[in-house]
């Protein structure tokens, strides 16, 4: 059963019947055409009215107050997280920012099966890095939403601020919160009465690991002590990392720090899927209000598609959609999102071309048994898609 069907009662509580049908059509168009430009959506929107009227219809839908993220999306993503993760278990939460031209999307997501599922986001009205107040405003609603879980917050060098780490450390007195933020090499640190030195002065070399406990980070006073994990990956397959990782944390071991921080790659994969790898978000020229709603549609479509991909694998139908394993590859070639997306497209193609395909199958009777198995797989996928 599709995500839309599972949560239909929630969506219809906030939308009229006409709005819900428009919502359903737009999600379908995102999956089939992989475009979020309003002009492209209007060109394909199958309502029998003039193009300009279809365009205005979509524009009016995208500014509905009902599409507010906390009201429209939070209950759904919380229910999905509760289904995928046991209450009280550890969730890895990552924050990151993606920018193209004058658009700057700031997002927090939960890591799930090497992918990231979007939870909350905001549009920054500027280019460049986020400020502490913007980071706090993004994280706080998620802390409230997921208060029944142990959370580990991850961030790259944009979030090297000790102030953000200190804010989370204070929050951890009431909620199980951990953090792992990558630091710049020029950041100052010292232990006890020793002199300050930068991370770059620690003498790290490729292959080295180090875990510092109870150190002061930056020369600013009043933030207390933190732990710092340091690691410089050795040369592998002819590739050498340019510099080591320095990670500010309140976790207790280097192995734990490195394990959770590696999971941060999931949000980079998600951004790629939302842009060039999937929905071509960077092609949108919508204003901020409509863009925020388009990102909401992408979040719903992306999450639904990823969950479909998981189901396709579990029902052993993934082999009909893609090569699942290869001798020369250690990791899977295709993510759950990719399997879910192209599984749905396979079904849509069958629905459009069924007459032609029937002729092809009748001309190859020796493959009848294979066709029957494939049709059964299509039936299973169709019930999920």
Per-residue pLDDT tens over the stretch 41-78? 999 999 999 999 999 999 999 999 999 999 999 999 99
- Domain end among 249, 274, 299: 274
pLDDT at position 249 is 95
One domain, residues 270 and 321: no
One domain, residues 118 and 230: yes
One domain, residues 270 and 129: yes
**Is residue 307 in some structural domain?**
no
The strand pair at 103-112 and 197-198 is best described as unpaired
Cα separation, 127 vs 108, in Å, equals: 18
pLDDT reading at 39 higher than 90: yes
**Is residue 147 in some structural domain?**
yes
- The pLDDT-based confidence of 328 (bands split at 50, 70, 90) is low
- Domain end among 274, 309, 340: 274
Range of the domain at 256: 69-274
pLDDT reading at 147 higher than 90: yes
**Is residue 52 in some structural domain?**
no
Identify which has the larger pLDDT, 4 or 359: 359
One domain, residues 143 and 237: yes
**Is residue 282 in some structural domain?**
no
- Domain end among 274, 291, 308: 274
pLDDT at position 331 is 62
One domain, residues 202 and 97: yes
- The pLDDT-based confidence of 329 (bands split at 50, 70, 90) is low
The long-range contacts involving 29-32, CB below 8 angstroms and separated by at least 24 positions, are 30/279, 30/297, 30/298, 30/301, 31/301, 31/305, 31/341, 31/344, 31/345, 31/348, 32/345, 32/348
One domain, residues 209 and 270: yes
**Is residue 355 in some structural domain?**
yes
- The pLDDT-based confidence of 108 (bands split at 50, 70, 90) is very high
**Is residue 29 in some structural domain?**
no
Domain count, the chain: 2
The structure's pTM equals 0.90
**Is residue 346 in some structural domain?**
yes
pLDDT reading at 333 higher than 80: no
One domain, residues 360 and 253: no
One domain, residues 138 and 194: yes
One domain, residues 223 and 81: yes
């Amino acid at each position: 059963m599709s995500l839309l069907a599972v949560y239909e009662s929630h969506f219809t509580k906030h939308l009229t019947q006409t709005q819900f049908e428009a919502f359903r059509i737009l999600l379908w168009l995102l999956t089939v055409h992989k475009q979020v430009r309003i002009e492209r959506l209007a060109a394909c929107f199958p309502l029998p009215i003039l193009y300009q009227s279809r365009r205005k219809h979509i524009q009016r839908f995208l500014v509905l107050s009902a599409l507010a993220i906390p009201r429209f999306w939070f209950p759904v993503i919380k229910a999905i997280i509760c289904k995928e993760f046991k209450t009280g278990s550890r969730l890895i939460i990552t924050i990151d920012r993606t920018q193209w031209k004058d658009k700057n999307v700031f997002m927090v997501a939960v890591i799930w099966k090497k992918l990231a599922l979007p939870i909350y986001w905001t549009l920054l009205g500027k280019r460049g890095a986020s400020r502490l107040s913007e980071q706090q405003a993004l994280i706080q609603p998620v802390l409230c939403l997921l208060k029944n879980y142990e959370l580990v917050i991850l961030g790259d060098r944009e979030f090297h601020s000790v102030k953000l780490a200190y804010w989370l450390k204070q929050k951890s007195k009431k909620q199980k919160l951990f953090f792992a933020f990558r630091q710049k090499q020029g950041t100052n640190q010292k232990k006890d009465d020793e002199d300050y030195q930068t991370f770059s002065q620690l003498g790290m070399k490729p292959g080295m690991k180090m875990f510092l406990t109870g150190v002061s980070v930056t020369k600013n006073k009043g933030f207390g002590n933190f732990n710092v994990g340091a690691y410089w990956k050795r040369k592998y397959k002819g590739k050498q990392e340019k510099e080591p990782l320095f990670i500010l944390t309140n976790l207790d071991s280097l192995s734990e720090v490195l394990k959770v921080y590696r999971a941060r790659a999931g949000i980079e994969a998600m951004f790629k899927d939302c842009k060039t790898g999937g929905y071509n978000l960077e092609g949108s020229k919508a204003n901020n209000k409509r863009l925020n709603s388009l990102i909401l549609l992408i979040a719903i479509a992306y999450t639904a598609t990823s969950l479909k991909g998981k189901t396709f694998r579990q029902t052993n139908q993934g082999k009909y959609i893609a090569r699942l394993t290869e001798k020369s590859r250690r990791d899977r070639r295709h993510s759950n999102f990719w399997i879910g997306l192209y599984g749905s497209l396979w079904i849509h193609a069958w629905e459009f071309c069924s007459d032609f395909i029937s002729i092809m199958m009748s001309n190859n009777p020796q493959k009848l048994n294979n066709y029957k198995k494939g049709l059964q797989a299509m039936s299973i996928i169709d019930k999920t898609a």
